[in-house]
Structure 1
């Protein structure tokens, strides 16, 4: 029998690869003849590593400004996908909210410029396909900094939120740069660019925006959406996903790019379904299993693919809620790995997590195989 482990990272504790390998190393049963580890992510933390594990390629870095203007070495992956030279970027590595203490000052002075500079550099290297993950952004500039970095005119390149000052935007240079490039963003939010569900009103508060400032930003975003829509790629104001990552989604759509849900796109990149078809038992999981798991997260995606192909799947987690939503209908069981009452710090200890998931995974596999032997 073939055992496959595809577990998302337990954030702040252990990586996807570490968790997979802990289970596979702990399982020692003669009925298990093959073990496969599929490092995986949904577009957030660990995405570059997960894709590199499956596709190979070179993990490189470039010096660009982060959202505050500080120069950093931003990682990106160069690989081959479907015969195309492909560059993959985690935007949070440059624009992550973890780089700031959100306040009105930070929302006024952060920009997505560095991401645009990095994408522009990849284009200049002859990259044919660029994939950007949009989760975890600390910016709320409508993606205008990104557009400035791509060569759009009418946008300040100074270290401030360009949404608050831009009026007329010219995209011709940026569009020409992307003429032979396929641009795709991965995002699981479907918010529009403006309005009560737009990026300012929904995501602005967590990034430091006050009610007055957010209203000002939303009004300005309405003006900007009209400017961006002039280029014929749709009504940026209302397009689903345009509000992702503080409006970065809208900027990407305005350049003729696409927005795709994170997990399905990544599972295709790494050939996940093909591996699941060949497996007999699948173990997935994440740090916290709850009713949010069904909102495009890794365990739900893995479980759906497993059920679609008639495979047994179990989920393991650091903690689980009483109710886990639709996830419950796709797994044979969902289990927390803690071996007794523990503090949060102890539960997140890397060594303990790896030990506990190995023990829990081994016992679960043994129990499953006993049932298989009994029915045989």
Structure 2
């Protein structure tokens, strides 16, 4: 009997990691009905982090909540309570870019993330795990910290506007009302500093709508805010999620590589130790998919534990390193076009599962 661990990341915007795992397993089972499947949907701190924990940790419970989304309107979401009292929260579902109908580079903020953290603290969570991928804003976590009791004031003593537009007006940082920090683990796959040519504004600002002419002003505002906060803006990871990494570090959190932390918390190593095959995947497997991203992390772990690593990705670009996998399947290639692959991801993942099963059995 072949034992297969299914450990894909989410295919951003098209299918969750959990549903991707189910589709891959169904495809494999149609070729090898005696196979045994172990589901360990993955995340690296971005979209799907809460769902990955919910699928893998028995006894966990979703806690519904309404928060203020990145555009200022209400967002219905959930945080996850694990049996040991740990709360799992992801920025993607509270303040993420996928929640926007249009980019709001100056006005989007992270209030919703702070509200979710506050709700978990009110519930009595003993540890907070926060995934901070897929941010919509470059507010350096001011919205989040405000929801946790901090105040950011201008020269007249008034609260500044939310989002990046208020950063440059901050004259005073009042942390006297900031809630006491519990044990906070911050999951991120980003090691960028807060400011400079590799900083939050320069590297990630354009993804959130900032133009080249606007980036220097935001970078300068981030640097000034870091000084007011007493934060070393050169530290790796402080630029993650538009500066949320830095804000959580200043609050007392610990930045942790997302994929490895999720793997540890869902028992991935133990699952792979008894497996013959591990299948992972993500929406776009490209030249940026190394350095801690889910597929490369999974491939290395599988090889170390004696399992066969396989990949199913929405697309595989020419600069991607597929040599770390025994087999790699592109849904775009299977479907004949990106539009068809995006339109029916579960169908093409089922097809990919069949192909991987046949390759393993040949």
Q: Same fold (TM over 0.5)?
A: yes
Q: Which of 313, 317, 340 does residue 346 from structure 1 map onto?
A: 340
Query: 8 Å contact 2:68–2:111 — kept in the other structure?
Result: yes
Closer/same/farther in 2, CA of residues 27 and 99 from structure 1, 3 Å limit: closer
CA distance in 1, matches of 2:211, 2:55: 42
Say if 1:280 and 1:311, in contact at 8 Å, map to a contact too: yes
- Residue among 123, 138, 147 paired with 1:140: 138
Aligned to 1:150: 148
Match of 1:372 in 2: none
* Displaced runs of 4 or more, over 4 A: 28-33, 157-160, 337-341
> Aligned in 2, Cα 1:73/1:157: closer, same or farther, shift over 3 Å?
farther
Cα deviation code 1:259-291 (max 9, x no counterpart): 111100110111001111111222222233322
Q: Using the alignment, how far apart are the partners of 2:250 and 2:333 within structure 1?
A: 51
TM-score (norm 2): 0.88
| Alpha-carbon RMSD | 2.4
* Change over 3 Å in CA distance of 1:110–1:30 after alignment to 2: closer
Distance in structure 1 (CA, Å) of the matches to 2:35 and 2:52: 24
Name the CA distance, whole Å, in 2 between partners of 1:323 and 1:108.
33
Q: Please, which runs of 5 or more residues in structure 1 have no aligned partner?
A: 230-234, 368-376
Q: Do residues 356 (structure 1) and 351 (structure 2) align?
A: yes
> In the alignment, which residue of structure 2 is the partner of 1:183?
184
- Residues 113 and 157, structure 1, Cα contact 8 Å, conserved in 2: no
Say yes or no: does 1:312 pair with 2:288: no
Alpha-carbon deviation of 1:221? 1.9
Indicate whether 1:166 and 2:170 are aligned.
yes
Larger radius of gyration: 1
Contact persistence 1:136–1:245 (CA under 8 A): yes
Distance, in Å, in 2 between the alignment partners of 1:243 and 1:339 is: 35
Query: Do 1:78 and 1:86's aligned partners in 2 also have CA atoms closer than 8 Å?
Result: yes
Does the CA contact (< 8 Å) of 1:18 and 1:354 recur in 2? no
Which residue does 2:61 correspond to in 1?
58
1:247 aligns with 2:243: yes
Query: In the superposition, relative to structure 1, how do residues 123 and 353 fare at CA in structure 2: closer, same or farther (>3 Å)?
Result: same
Give the structure 2 partner of residue 39 of structure 1.
Answer: 41
CA distance 1:123–1:321, change in 2 (3 Å): same
1:205 aligns with 2:237: no
Q: How many residues align?
A: 352
**Contact 2:310 / 2:325 at 8 angstroms: preserved in 1?**
yes
Q: Structure 2 CA distance, aligned partners of 1:98 and 1:206?
A: 12
Gaps of 5+ in 2: 154-158
2:260 is the counterpart of 1:264: yes
1:323 and 1:118 map into 2 onto residues whose CA distance is 38
The Cα of 1:292 is off from its aligned counterpart by: 2.0
> C-alpha displacement at 1:157, in angstroms?
6.7
Tell me, in whole angstroms, the C-alpha distance in 2 between the residues paired with 1:208 and 1:12. 19
- 1:28 deviates by 5.9
| Residue-by-residue CA offset, 1:7-49 (whole Å, 9 max, x unaligned) | 2233344333333233433436789553222222222222211
Residue 20 of structure 2 contacts residue 346 of structure 2 at CA under 8 Å; is this kept in 1? no
Q: Distance in 2 between matches of 1:257 and 1:54?
A: 24
